[in-house]
């Protein structure tokens, strides 16, 4: 995992990036609202542990275990969450996200 190159992330929250893709699919971007999702837990460790039950995490965890990097991933997750936390005595972060309202016609069934 160390030193792995990451592909650039798609800018889902950027209306200028999303609008042409929506248009190509026959949709029109009507509105974008940018929000901040509060995420809280007793600690970074408890947050990581709690989220291990998420179906995507479960699938990824099995692959990481097979590759022998599961512990490295958990340590990196905890370090990133600790650094990002807005509080010292708990995990408290706000994750930005965007809600896009699209319109378009549905294909006839």
90-104 pLDDT, tens digit each: 999 999 889 999 998
Give the pLDDT confidence score for residue 7 in this predicted structure: 85
- The tally of domains found in the chain comes to 1
Domain hosting residue 32, numbered range:
15-104
Q: What's the rounded Cα separation, in Å, for the pair 3 and 69?
A: 13
Give the pLDDT confidence score for residue 8 in this predicted structure: 86
Q: What's the rounded Cα separation, in Å, for the pair 79 and 55?
A: 23
Q: Is residue 7 part of a domain?
A: no
Q: What is the mean pLDDT of residues 69-88?
A: 95
Q: Is residue 5 part of a domain?
A: no
Give the pLDDT confidence score for residue 9 in this predicted structure: 86
Q: Is residue 73 part of a domain?
A: yes
Residue 7: C-alpha distances to residues 10, 59, 89 (Å): 9, 20, 34
- List, for residues 1-52, the tens digit of each pLDDT value: 556 678 888 898 999 999 999 999 999 999 999 999 999 999 999 999 999 8
Q: Is residue 37 part of a domain?
A: yes
């Amino acid at each position: 995992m160390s030193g792995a190159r990451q592909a650039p992330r798609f800018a889902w929250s950027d209306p200028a990036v999303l609008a042409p893709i929506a248009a190509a699919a026959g949709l029109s971007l009507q509105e974008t609202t940018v929000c901040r999702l509060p995420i809280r837990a007793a600690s970074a460790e408890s947050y990581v542990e709690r989220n291990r039950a998420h179906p995507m995490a479960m699938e990824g965890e099995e692959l990481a275990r097979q590759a022998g990097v599961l512990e490295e991933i958990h340590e990196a997750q905890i370090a990133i969450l600790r650094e990002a936390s807005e509080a010292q005595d708990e995990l408290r972060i706000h994750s930005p996200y965007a809600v896009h309202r699209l319109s378009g016609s549905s294909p006839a069934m």
